[in-house]
Structure 1
Amino acid sequence: MRKTLLALVGCLFAHVAAAQSPITWPDLIDPTAQLYEDPFRDLSFEQLEKLRVVAKAEQTLEDGVSATETRDEIEARLNDAKASLAEQGIDAPNLLSQRWVVAERRKKAAEAGNAALDGELVVLAGYAIPAPPADDGTPVAYLVPERGMCSHTPPPKPNQMVRVLLKGDWRPATMHEPVQVRGRLSLSDTTHDIQVVDGLVPMRAAYEMEATGTLTKQDLQDTADSRQENAWAAAIVERLRASGQLPQNKNGDSN
């Protein structure tokens, strides 16, 4: 009966583990949004600097020349930069005409979440940032991939931040507390200003998760301690069995 019960429990845990797939932070990024044409990607730093010279000079000529520079000086700098790029096979006006389109593509690549994960039960590890509760009183935390984000460094991209609705007893006790969260993930673009170390920070997340459980550093330590104790106990049992001091049950197993 005991073996049957253990088998049933094992099957139950296997089913739960299968239903909640471990994912990593790169999995949250929309892979389709990363495939786009970017004519600026392979340019060298020097080439990009010359493009900036062209863009700035054209804007200055359009807005009006200041008293500190003559129009001839600005046009000479503009023509020199264009000529240098043209010698390298780079059409500066054509490239600059695409910059806003490329900027929009880059923005989408940094913000778009992976539609394949929408509604999925997942397990994700990261660092938790305490946040004010939701309007209905549900406790909230933000999960980020690296320690320090949103406080001493800028927030991550939206598709690298998860707004977590905490359903259990656990709450982050400190800023950037390491934790593994499991629950249902959904694509939900939200922005909330929260107070962190350096003041108010806009927390824009592409995802929201209804957490059904958490695993903290202390939980992992307790599990490791329990395994060590079990291993120690098993070693004692084995020694007693080998010495004949431990009676055997009918199935040949130790009581």
Structure 2
Amino acid sequence: MKRVILAFLTASSFGCFATETITLDWLNLIPKTEPVALSLPDLTDQQKNYLQEVLTLSRYSTPESKARIKAVEASLKEDGIDAFMYLNMRNKYIQAKQRAAESVTDAFDGQRIKIPGFLIPLEFSDAMVSTDFLLVPVAGACIHMPPPPANQIIRVSYPKGFQIRTVQFPVWVEGTITSNLQSEDLYIIDGTSHVTTGYTLAATEVIDYE
């Protein structure tokens, strides 16, 4: 009998633990990545302008643009600067930062979480009742500005619907989270934007922030 009771208590304790809701901070959704190391010499304003000119002209294939690139490249070489070497380093730096922005963690996959944020409505079931929205850490993110990193955007599904007062007012969202990196064109407020989201969340409760 004692063994039966002990087994029951153990199972009950595990069940309570398994359904425990974890309160997350947005920083919890940013996985640790290696810092992007880039060492460049100090450049004068003129040298920076030259590099920008080479970057712009390299998009064209006209005889004039090629001739100008050679002239600028030669001028930079006199200063000991290899234009294309530095532009290649710049591209690698941008790519590394992009990878870091799109990195997500699966540490909380399948867990019930609670997180505060600001919602950006995508779909409505009634006037100002949103059933599908983005949750972001900063008010107005994704609206008339570049979106936050993917690991700072959660795509939320809430069939019950949440009555929105204003997108400037924070909310608490509770539900099951899953890491799910995806890019798509979304209609946000008054236009379509290409947004990459890092997580999806099946919400069971959305309430005003207190």
Whether these two folds match at TM > 0.5 is yes
User: Which of the two has greater helix per residue?
Assistant: 1
Which of residues 68, 72, 76 is equivalent to 1:81? Answer: 76
Deviation at 1:208, TM superposition (A): 0.3
* Matched-pair contact (CA < 8 Å) for 2:54–2:69: no
1:232 — aligned with what?
A: none
Q: Does 1:102 align with 2:101?
A: no
Deviation at 1:111, TM superposition (A): 1.3
2:202 — aligned with what?
A: 210
After superposition, the Cα gap between the structure-2 partners of 1:23 and 1:109, relative to the gap in structure 1 and judged at 3 Å, is same
User: Which of the two has greater strand per residue?
Assistant: 2
Structure 1 Cα separation of the partners of residues 23 and 48 of structure 2: 40
State the identity %. Answer: 25
Partner deviation per Cα, 1:197-225 (whole Å, 9 max, x = no partner): 332223431100111223304xx3xxxxx
Q: Does 1:20 align with 2:21?
A: yes
Deviation at 1:49, TM superposition (A): 4.1
Deviation at 1:65, TM superposition (A): 2.8
Partner deviation per Cα, 1:34-76 (whole Å, 9 max, x = no partner): x15442678668465443344456x38x82333xx894x6534
Greater Rg, structure 1 or structure 2? Answer: 1
Structure 1 Cα separation of the partners of residues 111 and 123 of structure 2: 25
2:30 — aligned with what?
A: 29
Cα RMSD after superposing both structures: 3.6
3-state SS of paired residue (2:170) = strand
- TM-score by structure 1 length? 0.60
Structure 1 Cα separation of the partners of residues 131 and 44 of structure 2: 46
- TM-score by structure 2 length? 0.70
Structure 2 Cα separation of the partners of residues 184 and 166 of structure 1: 11
Structure 2 Cα separation of the partners of residues 92 and 167 of structure 1: 54
Deviation at 1:102, TM superposition (A): 3.1
Q: Where does structure 2 lack aligned partners over 5 or more consecutive residues?
A: 1-12
Deviation at 1:81, TM superposition (A): 2.2
- Write the mapping of 1:25-64 to structure 2, written as runs, cut at 5 A: 25-32=26-33, 35-39=34-38, 46=45, 48-56=48-56, 59=58, 63-64=61-62
Structure 1 Cα separation of the partners of residues 35 and 53 of structure 2: 26
- Write the mapping of 1:106-125 to structure 2, written as runs, cut at 5 A: 106-125=97-116
User: How many residue pairs are counted as aligned between the two chains?
Assistant: 190
Q: Where does structure 1 lack aligned partners over 5 or more consecutive residues?
A: 1-11, 221-255
Q: Does 1:198 align with 2:190?
A: yes
